[in-house]
Each structure stands twice: as structure tokens, then as C-alpha cells.
Structure 1
Amino acid sequence: MLPGWQEADGAHIAALHVDLAPGWKTYWRAPGEGGIPPLFDWSGSENLKSVGFIWPAPEVFDNSGYRTIGYKGGMTLPMRLVPIDPSKPITIRGQVDMGVCEEICMPVTLPFSAALPMNGPRDPAIAAAMASRPFTRAEAKVQDVDCDIEPTDRGLALNAVVDMPPTGVIENAVVEVRNPRIWVDPAVNQRDGNKLHISADLSSISGGAMMVDRSAITLTVLGSDYAVEIQGCD
């Protein structure tokens, strides 16, 4: 755990740093087919109100027709920790469950513990990881996002048209709905000039009815030149 520094508003910037053996990889928050996203347990922490993650742009891996998304060789995952009392330091204790993969993928559990210094210096490794996050909608010059959601015999079909410049020769789109009870199939994308068409099927894990909050939909475009993250689907 990289202890990081305290911001002017009292929040603390720290990071989980994971080194992996050559050829091994771990996964992004939306890991793709067969991947395991990191899951954190903060239950032993002190003076900790909330945690927000700043995800660096991941890579897309194709293995025998299956697409997974993550980081090769390791990752530095910055996080913004909000204290209950900004005048006191935060102590974090807990564990992270995550998947690691070479030829065979396996889950691992890593315990962590750190007292975060209130006057720590800025860490270049954390700053570099924060700088590698996907561009925002404004930074990527996204002009418009139009989403249609229609019922199907399996659930719902989401079709989005994003007006934005190409992010590289190769582009992969990811759709997230921020609802663990909804399964999102791998997205399919196709470009027509400055219009990127993204489609994905949504289904309820329980098999029942479901409701999708458009403001909670995240569209991420992972291009060979840069990545873009779009919050909300109009």
C-alpha cells in the first residue's frame, strides 16, 4: 500500500500497488469474460468514511476468442479516502480479493494495513497512475451521446451512438450499469466516421424484471491511442 498524501479538503490520496511476475496479469473493475475484479474489505479500518477509486486505463487481452480487461505485470490503483474526522489520520486495515492470470486464472487474497501520514509527500508513482486515467467526456471532445434501450426476450438491449473522434485504429467499448444484479454482455462497437455505435444486451441475474438508471450507465472506449470514460447515457 503506497501511503500517499492528504489533500487540502482533508481527503487522503493513497494507492494499492501490485507487482506481478513476468507474463501475469490482473483485472480492471469490469474484467470481461471470465475475469475477477478486485473486491475490497475495509472493515478493520479506523477514521474511514468512504473510498473512491481512480482507475488507470487498462489493456484489452484476447485469449482464444475471449476478451479480458486488465493490467499486465502489475498495477497501481489510486484511491481517494475520505476520513470521518479530517483532523485525525486514517488507518486502513483489510484485504483485497483479486484475480491473477497467466495461462490459468486464480483468485488471491491479499491483506493490507497502513497508517496514512497526514503530512506525507506527493508520490510520483501514484501521480503517474492518476494521470493515466481515461479522458473525460469534455477532454475527449465528445459532442453527443444518444442511447436507446429496448426490451428483448432476454432482458434489455442498449444501443448507443457516441459522436467523438476516433481513439485509435483499434477500439473496444465497455458498458457498465452500476447494478450488481444486472449482467451486461460484452459490448459490440462499430465506427462510422465520428459516430461510434455501441450495443450490449442486459439481463437480470435473478431472471426477473429490472430497471436501468441512465445516469448510472458508464461507457468506456479503450482505444489503441487513448481511452475515454463517459458518465451517463442520455
Structure 2
Amino acid sequence: MKTLVPPHLAFALLAALCASSWFATPACAQDASSWQQDSHSQLRLLAGSRSGTVLLGGIVLQLQPGWHTYWRNPGDSGVPPRFDFSKSDNIEAVTVLWPAPTKFDDGAGGHSLGYHDQIVLPLRIVTKNADKPVILRADISYAVCEKICIPVDAKAELPFTSVASTEDQTLFAALDTVPKPANIGDPNPLTIRDVKRDGQSVVVDVATPDARDVNLFVEGPTPDWALPIPMPDAHSPPGVKRFSFALDGLPPGAKPDGAALKFTLVGTDKAYEFNVNLQ
């Protein structure tokens, strides 16, 4: 006697199988490109559901144990990934959305910011015409590092064809790891309470219910600003984790007055992004 699986359970089962790192079937292939492999990592594209002019996609990057790659700001050392989507069909713009990074020793006395194991970078894709075929083509350059760094160049392409993609669950989960926009003093348990300039240093007070696993990162107005990673103060006031950093690494001729800084505050299970004009 045959057992019939209800359609909604069959779809859920297929989605779970397709989310598996090494599973591949023709049904999965329509929503995920083939893996592009090198010696220490592999990469592929994901396509979300096809609906409207703004689509959700993703880049999956898997790394061998002990290897890492970098965030958009690599920290004290490293190379950020670079993306070129210009060869895509019927795509106006692609925005890479960055999950909160991890801080780790760079092996040279400093710290790098990036990812281990597997990371899914969500993509916000604006199409030119919602009624025409969409093909995402990506040229991606990144570094994979253990004790040494190895540059990787990968190419991948994927059409967006599914009204209900099997990768939607994976993509929505990745979106949850992207820091949420916030403002100074927001009534969240984890927030930036104050940002002050003290001569050639900046002091940032963070309100947090648990100061043990909180990190703060800062970026300047343009990628050529190389501001140091804010370091915690061992003598922070009660209920506050205080960070500070020197105004070093500015490009020639740049002034800190009024500079638009971006702070990324990362806690155990929440992360927020703050845009602040330095006074």
C-alpha cells in the first residue's frame, strides 16, 4: 500500500533537503546554482521567490574547518569580498546585506572581522522589469585564510523562476542575522547610549544587560577610512560597557569633524547598526 505525502509536507521536506549543504536534485537546482569550489571553500547563489520588482537572493559561502573570510570591514588586517553583478540580465541594482561579523585574532597581534564555517549573505535585488526573465550573474573575489590567506575568484549565475522558492526559509533566516537599524538611546536592552569625542579619541557608552559578549565596530564615511576596532574599557560605569578608539587611519586631508560614522553593535543574539555624525 502506497503512502501519500500531503503537498504541504512534501514542499517542506524538499525545502529541508535543499537547505542541506551537499544535497542536489533538479528540483533544488532551480533555486540554487551549482557549487563553485576551490581548495578551501565553496560558493553558490540562492534565488528567493519571484514576486514584484524587488527580489531577495543570497550568496552561500562554506569554509573548511579552521578557515575564515572577511566582513565588509576586515578589521586590523584582511581583504573584504568584492562583488560584480554588472553582467546580470534585467537587474537594476544589487545590495549586499551583511550579517553581523565575528571578531577573532589575526595572528599578528590585532583582530580581524569576518566569518567561519558557513555564511549566507542576503542580496536585495531591484529588477528593471517585473515581467521579463531575471538572471543574476556574479563575479566574486574574496580571501580564505587560516595562517595564510589565499585569494579566490568565483563566477556563478542563477535565474529567478520560482513563484515559491525552496530557499525562502534560508534567506529569511539570513536576513535575521543582519544588524537592524537603530538610533542612539533607543529603548532596547542592548543599545548605544552616548557617543562623545575626547580630543583625538571617541568614547562610546553601550547599555547592555550582559557585558560579557558584546562587541562594537566602527566604519568611516568611505572605505578608505581605516579606523581601529573600538576596545572595551575595564573600568566602565555600572550597567554600561564603555568602548573607545583613536581617530587614526583617516585618509589624507580628511577631517573627523562632522564625519558620518557607522557603528555596528553585536550582542549574543541581537545586532544593531547606528549612523552617527561625529561632533
Match of residue 77 from structure 1:
121
- Give the conservation status (yes or no) of the 8 Å contact 1:34–1:68: yes
1:119 corresponds to 2:167:
no
Match of residue 204 from structure 1:
250
> Which structure has the highest strand share of the two?
1
Name the CA distance, whole Å, in 1 between partners of 2:98 and 2:151. Answer: 20
1:56 corresponds to which of 92, 99, 104:
99
In structure 2, relative to structure 1, the CA distance for the partners of 1:39 and 1:139 (3 Å cut) is farther
> CA offsets per residue over residues 174-213 of structure 1, 9 Å max, x none?
00124123221222223433333232224333x2233565
What's the % identity of the aligned pairs? 27
Q: Which moved more, 1:120-129 or 1:94-103?
A: 120-129
What's the TM-score once normalised by structure 2's chain length?
0.70
Match of residue 110 from structure 2:
66
Name the CA distance, whole Å, in 2 between partners of 1:227 and 1:89. Answer: 37
In structure 2, relative to structure 1, the CA distance for the partners of 1:94 and 1:63 (3 Å cut) is closer
Match of residue 70 from structure 2:
27
1:147 corresponds to 2:192:
no
In structure 2, relative to structure 1, the CA distance for the partners of 1:31 and 1:80 (3 Å cut) is same
- Give the conservation status (yes or no) of the 8 Å contact 1:89–1:118: no
- Give the conservation status (yes or no) of the 8 Å contact 1:134–1:226: no
- Give the conservation status (yes or no) of the 8 Å contact 1:150–1:158: yes
State the structure with more CA Rg: 2
In structure 2, relative to structure 1, the CA distance for the partners of 1:149 and 1:45 (3 Å cut) is farther
Name the CA distance, whole Å, in 2 between partners of 1:94 and 1:42. Answer: 5
Match of residue 179 from structure 1:
222
Name the CA distance, whole Å, in 1 between partners of 2:228 and 2:104. Answer: 17
Q: Which moved more, 1:52-61 or 1:25-34?
A: 52-61
Q: Which amino acid aligns with 2:97?
A: I
Quote how far apart the aligned CAs of 1:77 are: 0.8
Structure 2 residues without counterparts, runs of 5 or longer: 1-44
Q: Which amino acid aligns with 2:243?
A: I
Quote how far apart the aligned CAs of 1:2 are: 0.9
Match of residue 146 from structure 2:
102
> Which structure has the highest helix share of the two?
2
Match of residue 263 from structure 2:
219
Name the CA distance, whole Å, in 2 between partners of 1:69 and 1:228. Answer: 15
Q: How many pairs align? A: 225
CA-atom RMSD in angstroms = 2.6
Match of residue 91 from structure 1:
135
